[in-house]
Structure 1
Amino acid sequence: MKAYFLKLCFLLFATAAYSQAGHIMQGVGAVNMSMGGASTGQPLDISGAIQWNPASISTFDEKIIKFDLGLFFSSPELSSTVPEFDSGGNPTGNFFSGTTEDDRGVSPLPALAMVWGKEGSKHTFGASAFGISGFGVTFPESTTNPINMPQSMGGFGRIESDYSLLQLGFTYAYQLSDKFSIGLQPTFNYATLELMPNPTANPTLAGYPSADKATALGFGGQLGVYYDSGSGFSAGASYKTKQSFGDFKFDNTYLDSSTGENEFKMDYPAIWSLGLGFSPGQFDLALDYRYVQYDKTAGFSSVGWTPTASVAGFGWDNISIVSAGIQYKGVDRLPLRLGYTYSSNPIGSDVAFFNVPATAIIKNAFQLGLSYEISDRWAIDGVYHMGFSGKATSGPLLNPQFIANFPPYGAIPGSEVSYDMTTSMIMVGASYKFLKN
């Protein structure tokens, strides 16, 4: 029974987390999400502090535990267009177009954090288990959308992906003075990846294979500094290193029932964060800027076809993320929050085709949240999120057989693939402060 319970807990925290900024969760927990993810220089709760700046947990001088659980909904749509040809192979001037809606449903988002602080001590410790990254789509096979046509008819058939990353962190902060703190955090990661069909495998005459879910372990770390003026102004900076993973090892099955194996390496990118905080009277203001380095990340930096017509990588660009939030504390025991997050798009039009399994790109996200302080020890939190991708990401369909005439990736003339999405989420959380010693 104990082993079953532990397995259940692990599966809960390893469930896919669907992102708003590249494949990175914009925030962790209801409080941090409601501030748009801004926390590097304004640590309002322990989850946001641990996630974005380990040095900032020095502001908490109590032992606190916090748990959050969200329900995430997304509605991506995948469209494609191809030119039609006559029996002699000549274009007719007509086009075949269609759209497929995702039927994935709801996904849970858990977060667990704890901080051990003590009044008068220069040392603060923290531990966390966060789902920090993910993407996933389920586009059914269709005879009305070219890209979802059965592989026997030239399409990819059912397109399904499921990626999730669980990160365990152990955080330490040291207060150099009343105003300055430094912090560090080793991180340990468990990721799962499922792709159907699997474009990272070599195709055969039967097309691309389906693959069982593969897993990989990774590690990395985070460093941070935090400054609190004592008069309302605060600032912070952190660097989360690239999270290096082992290879995902896929067991593949082709449509003709033949089997094979392949490996694919996909790391988590390094992230630089800068943050400012200002707390005049009844308000707390927070502003964060993040720079995400996909160009040095395995699985994302590579792009194009391999010599055997498998996909080398997603080909993502570096992105910038801006998070902003405001908290109003004028209502007794009921802090109110508004948050906004902007993210640039890492997917260029020339590589849109390679990224059909990873369409969770949100340009603008808006959050509304609140807390209710039940007592000096208990508080509950809630947030509602809405995200929009802005204009659709689009580009030509690609075929490695066309590379000679249409380099570098073999764009099919007159074709297009595009996708966009909206997201919504409801998250609730609870925190408990232990009695001071």
Structure 2
Amino acid sequence: MRNLFKLAFLLFSAGVFAQTGHIMQGVGAVNMSMGGAATAQPIDISGAIQWNPASLSTFDNKILNFDIGAFFSSPELSSTLPAGFMGAGSPEFSGVTEDDRGVSPMPSVAMVWGKEDSKHTFGVSAFGISGFGVTFPESMTNAINMPQSMGGFGHIESDYMLLQVGLTWAYEITDNFSIGIQPNFNYASLELAPNPLASPSMTLGYPVSDKASAIGFGAQFGLYYESDGGVKVGASYKTGQKFSDFEFSNTYLDGSAAPDVDFQMDYPAILSFGLGYSTSNFDLAADIRYVDYENTEGFEASGWTQTASVAGFGWENIAIFSAGIQYKGIDKLPLRFGYTHSTNPINEDLAFFSIPATAVIKNAYQFGFGYEFTDKLTINGLYHHGSSDGKTEGSMLSPMAIAPTNPTGAIPGTKVGYEMTTDLITIGVSYKFLK
């Protein structure tokens, strides 16, 4: 099973970088163009599977979706040391390092089996639903990226991706009301350099890790109601996805072996509520989601261990608002506009611990369209732009500075922060197997 997950992971999750915490705000060109809103407005099968399995009952054909996107991000990492920090009379020292990761591919695939005269609808999907990654090169002008021998972290790189394979079943209790359930099978990989989860050596610093993997399981449940007048209501609950430990093999920068370390990082539970409304020319959608980081292994813990390794991210719960509108007044050319807003899970007192996971976007704007070539084939396109809308910033932290009045080890007068913008272009194909 692990080998099958690895193959699917390579095919469908080659590069996933999240927008809301470490969670993707949507899946595929159609759902992303609606701001990710789909809990009560199942415009396409990918959005329905991702956000409310019950809404899959609205599809009465066998349908295949495939989407491929090109993701661009521009994180910037900054740090400041106060005057006198580097010796008596030394000036304030500030610097900025830009990420040089480049373009990342973002594929997704889904298929649904539905029949007009059946109360049952089935689906299967492979989505990259979560991820983060940075590549900040070593620098002599930005203190946080100075070599470890000089007190910095040197080259900072992270790469986290989560592939979720879902098996979806929706059942129409009445013509207007459906329920849905979806068991999920997950595969994740994580690479950190340096690896702050490992205990540092007094002489060799923090080691770098190989890419570790973990398998997880969970489920999603949904309710969906559609009135005869076009009003739609939906709710879904995705359980926390429980993972096995990431088992890291570590190596110091001089090539010598470092102690291995295990770390568990689960995926948080998500509660979603949605409203939708449809007319002959318009589809409107609005979702609100609550993400439970504070009770999720790997995110709830924070601070330092007794051996100077990092205990966890220390993220707070977040709320995500998504809204979208689809205009269908142009024959065969639907137009879509979406907006997404997310609160920030990172407490500024703990911002230092989230340097490897800076993909936090506060506001995102989307435009998309479709073109119906035939009754069977539709091509969809998307453009997304997101911004962190300011810097997440806090003090540099050190286990050497911990005191009863300073439990996180904040270094007075120092700053470390990050901000970013994101852009995504996606093309999708939807094919109906009509008789």
Matched, 1:403 2:405: no
Deviation readout 1:219-270 (Å, 9 max, x if unpaired):
0000000001021111100000000000000000012433120011100000
Give runs of aligned pairs for residues 6-405 of structure 1, distance below 5 A.
Answer: 10-85=9-84, 92=89, 94-205=91-202, 206-259=204-257, 260-404=259-403
How many angstroms does 1:85 deviate by? 3.6
- Quick one: structure 1 residues 280 and 148, their matched pair in 2 at CA, closer, same or farther if it must change by over 3 Å? same
> Which amino acid in the other structure matches residue 394 of structure 1?
E
Name the aligned partner's letter for residue 223 of structure 1: F
1-structure distance, mates of 2:85, 2:394: 24
TM-score after normalising by structure 1: 0.96
Amino acid in the other structure paired with 1:297: T
* In 2: Cα distance, 1:247 partner to 1:80 partner: 32
Relative to the length of structure 2, the TM-score reads 0.97
Q: For residues 376-402 of structure 1, what are the alpha-carbon distances to aligned partners after superposition, in whole Å with 9 as ceiling and x for unaligned?
A: 100000000000001100000001111
Give the match's secondary structure for 1:303.
coil
Corresponding residue SS for 1:314: coil
- Determine the C-alpha separation between the residues in 2 that align with 1:86 and 1:17: 39
- Cα displacement (A) at 1:9: 5.3
Give deviations 1:20-56, integer Å, cap 9, x for gaps: 1000000000000000000000000000000000000
Counterpart residue identity of residue 109, structure 1: M
**Quick one: distance in 1 between partners of 2:268 and 2:366?**
25
Q: Secondary structure at the match of 2:57?
A: helix
- In structure 1, how many angstroms separate the alpha carbons of the residues matched to 2:382 and 2:234? 24
Q: CA deviation at 1:299?
A: 0.8
Say which SS state the counterpart of residue 313 (structure 1) adopts: coil
For residue 336 of structure 1, report the CA deviation from its aligned partner: 0.2
CA distance in 1, matches of 2:410, 2:319: 28
- Post-superposition Cα deviations, 1:348-377, rounded to whole Å, max 9, x if no partner, equal 110000000000000000000000001110
In structure 2, the CA distance between the partners of 1:109 and 1:388, relative to structure 1 (3 Å rule), is same
Unaligned runs of 5+ in 2: none
SS at match of 1:126: strand
* 1:107-159 residue CA offsets vs partner (Å, 9 max, x unmatched): 11111000100011100000000000000000000000000000001100000
Unaligned runs of 5+ in 1: none
Asked whether the equivalents of residues 6 and 187 of structure 2 are also in contact (C-alpha less than 8 Å), the reply is no
Distance 1:128 1:94, change over 3 A: same
Q: How many Å separate the matches in 1 of 2:372 and 2:178? A: 28
Q: Retained in 1: the 8 A contact 2:219–2:241?
A: yes
Structure 2 CA distance, aligned partners of 1:347 and 1:86?
27
CA contact (8 A) 2:9 2:187 kept: no
Q: How many residues align?
A: 431
3-state secondary structure, aligned to 1:37: coil
Amino acid of the structure 2 residue aligned with 1:339: G
Counterpart AA for 2:214:
A
**Deviation at residue 6 of structure 1 after TM alignment:** 10
Q: Is the 8 A contact 1:14 1:191 kept in 2?
A: no
How many angstroms apart in 2 are the aligned matches of 1:186 and 1:374? 34
**Is the contact made by 2:342 and 2:363 (CA closer than 8 Å) also made in structure 1?**
yes
Q: Contact between 2:70 and 2:425, CA under 8 Å: does it hold in 1?
A: yes
In structure 2, the CA distance between the partners of 1:110 and 1:104, relative to structure 1 (3 Å rule), is: same
Tell me the CA shift for residue 407 of structure 1: 1.2
Residues 99, 145 of structure 1: 8 Å contact kept: yes
Instruction: Give 3-state SS (helix, strand or coil) of 2:311's partner.
Output: strand
Give the drift of 1:405. Answer: 6.5
SS in 2 for 1:382: strand
SS at match of 2:55: helix
The Cα offsets for residues 157-198 of structure 1, whole Å up to 9 and x where unpaired, read as 000000000000000001000110000000000000000000
Q: 1:405 to 1:414 in 2, by over 3 A?
A: farther
Letter in 2 for 1:261: D
For the Cα contact (< 8 Å) 2:84–2:92, is it kept in 1?
A: no
Change (3 A) 1:6 1:97: closer
User: For 1:230 and 1:124, how far apart are their aligned partners in 2?
Assistant: 21
Counterpart secondary structure, 1:353:
helix
On the 8 A contact 1:275/1:289 being kept in 2, the answer is yes
Aligned partner of residue 358 in structure 1, secondary structure: coil
Q: Is contact 2:401-2:409 (8 Å) kept?
A: yes
Shift of 1:64: 0.4
